Each structure stands twice: as structure tokens, then as C-alpha cells.
Amino acid sequence: MNILFVLENFYPKIGGVETLFLKLASALVDKGNKVYVFTSGAEGLPSQQSYQGIEIIRTRYSNRYLFTFFTWFKCIRLASHADIIHTTSYNAAVPAIIAAHVNKKKSIITFHEAWTKLWFKLPNMSAPSKLLHYLFEQWILSFRFSRFIAVSKFTQQALIDAGIKEAKVQMIYNGLNYDEYHVSDQKETSKAYLYYGRVGVSKGIHLILEALAILKQKGKAVLLDLIVSNDKQSRKHLQQIIDSLDIKNHVRLIDQMEFQELKTKVRQAKAVIIPSYSEGFCFVAAESVALGTNIISSGRGALKEVVGGHYLEMQSQTAEDLARCIEQAEKDDWQYREPKTFYLQDTVDQYIRAYNNLLNG
């Protein structure tokens, strides 16, 4: 097969999704397939690069919206030799579907999450912004992809509820390479709670900070390690919230770190806090479970499918209830659920079967 991936981000940018698609692309190359990746550019990266047999073609655009609307012609040219075009939600989907239709090629989209009307319930977004994001997602959902891949049962049902025909939707969990999460040392738990990952309106970071303020008023000193991107604007916004709540002695803003260091930080945390308004899968939850770390979770979206081990679940999406969960965690009063595993090789194998099934009708 000749396969073209159209992805917003790819190697050397490394996150859960990027690792998944790097592993998938490498496995396809190992099986004798020709794999191309069309992705966004970044300073210092070449416009073309061969890596592990994967041909990577980068645009000059690093901005996601420029990638969405100004890469169509190049994507169409690249797609002319492909058997299958595979993309993800959201921004890369537009050039991918246009290239697929122009060239009459089979197409697959992996939907990481389908929010639909949840957009209107998110905090700290203006009404016009909520509407525009909702309409953009509805536009993507209207595209005639040959197959929609959902990364969890929750996302699968959300796609069907959004009007995608059930026969077109296939569920393939995201996967982890558990060899990378194997630890032989004895677990040493710190007193600090941990949040790490993306900063976004759906992630509920403000709930953690407000919960710390509530606990401070009760005379309870709780420490949070907050590992977020080095983006100056995001960090400035978080610092403003921390200062306004007067909890600067309870929060440590930490720069992003290499995987091995992050793995140690996660393993040592008192608990990882995931107060998201929704999750399509949640690599942070899967990683925390793999490392045997306790989790405080909102339980929204796919979190009920992924969270396992010792955990606590918020009963309402409020800072007050999150503060209650933290107080319960301080007493080591945890719930327990048998941990689940999501093997990366299983994910890769299922994608390869999906490609073959699609091409063979």
C-alpha cells in the first residue's frame, strides 16, 4: 500500500498521539508499505526528511489554521499516488478530505474527541468562539470519509449520536508501549499532587487552582506541581490566576521535561489530577495507570474506560467537589478499579486490518 498521513503534528514533536502515529507509520514501512506524512512545519526542521523509512513532508506553516486552509494544493499532489489517506481531527482533516475527493481515494479519520454541544458548556470562552468551534466541528463531521475511527467507546457513541452512520464508525483504542513504563525501583510518593499535559479550556485547570484556594481557606496546605507548555501567554495567564487566588505558595509551575524525568515525576506524585470536562481517550490517565499512580478524575467522557487502580471521581464539575476529593485523598481513602491495558501493538494491528478491509471492500 501507499499511505499518506495528513497530520497536524508529527515527529520530532512527541506526545501520545504523535508516538502512536510514528509507531503505526514505522510498522507499515516494516511490512513493505510506502508511507508519506504531510505535516506542519517548525523552525529548524527541514521541509523534507526521511525517518525510519517514513517520508516526511512539512509545510512552511506552523499555525494550525494556516495548515488547514493553505495546504490544499500540495496535499492534493501528494495524495495522487496514495491508496489510502489517513488524518485526524480537527485541523488536518480539511486538506485531507479535499485531497481524497479530488483524487477519488479511500480516506480514514481518527477522531480524538467529538464534543458537539459540549462546546457551549465550556468555561472561559466567548459565545462567538464557542459557536465557531461548534460549527467547525460540525463541518468536519459532515465530511464523507470512508471510515471514522473512534479512540474509545465514548467517542464511538458520540460520533454515532452526531449523525455518522454506525457502519462507518470503528473503535480502536489508542495504545501505549508498556515497555517504556516498566519501573523496577520501589515507589517513593511525594506529598505533591500533579497536573501535566495540554492547557485548554476543556481541561479544567482552573478547577484545581480554585480547589486549592478553598483548601487554603480551610487551613489545609496542599501542594500542586503544574507541568505545562513553555508558551509564555499560557503561563502568564496561569500565573495571573494563581496570584489572584493567593495560592502561589501552593503551586509550582514547572517547565516541560523529557519523558524519563516526567515518568519519575508522575510515579512519585501523590495523585495525578484530571478534572477535564470531557476526554476522548486521555493519554495522561493511561500513563498514570501504567505507572501505578493514583488518579483524581472528573470521570467525564472516556475517563471511566481508561482510569483504573486507586482513584477518586468527582461527583460534580465544581472546585468544591474537587476539593472534597483532595481531602479524601489526604486520608488515603481511595476507590479501586482493576487497571486496564491498552497495548500499542494491538492498536497498530487493528489499524492495519482496517486499511486492508477498506481496500478490499
- The arithmetic mean of pLDDT across residues 338-361, rounded, is 93
Q: What percent of the chain has pLDDT over 70?
A: 99
Q: Tell me: pLDDT of 40 over 80.
A: yes
Which pLDDT score is estimated for 184? Answer: 66
> Which comes out higher in pLDDT, residue 166 or 191?
166
The span from the CA of 136 to the CA of 357, in Å, is 30
pTM over 0.85: yes
Bridge-based pairing of strands 335-337 and 309-313 is: antiparallel
148, 96 contact by CB (below 8 A) = no
Q: What's the CATH class of domain 2-175+343-359?
A: alpha beta
- CA gyration radius for the chain? 21
Mean pLDDT of 240-256: 93
| CATH classification for the domain delimited by 179-337, as one of 3.40.50.2000, 1.10.3720.10, 3.40.50.620, 3.90.180.10 | 3.40.50.2000
179-337 and 2-175+343-359 share a CATH fold: yes
Handedness of CA 116, 120, 122, 127 (dihedral sign): positive
Domain coordinates in residue numbering, the chain: 2-175+343-359, 179-337
Asked if residues 85 and 107 have their Cβ atoms less than 8 Å apart, the reply is yes
- The answer to whether residues 253 and 237 touch, using CB atoms and an 8 Å cutoff, is no
- pLDDT for residue 230 is more than 80: no
In whole angstroms, what is the distance from residue 28 CA to residue 21 CA?
10
Give the per-residue pLDDT at 289.
97
Q: Which amino acid is present at 210?
A: E
43 φ/ψ angles, rounded to the nearest 5 degrees = -60, 130
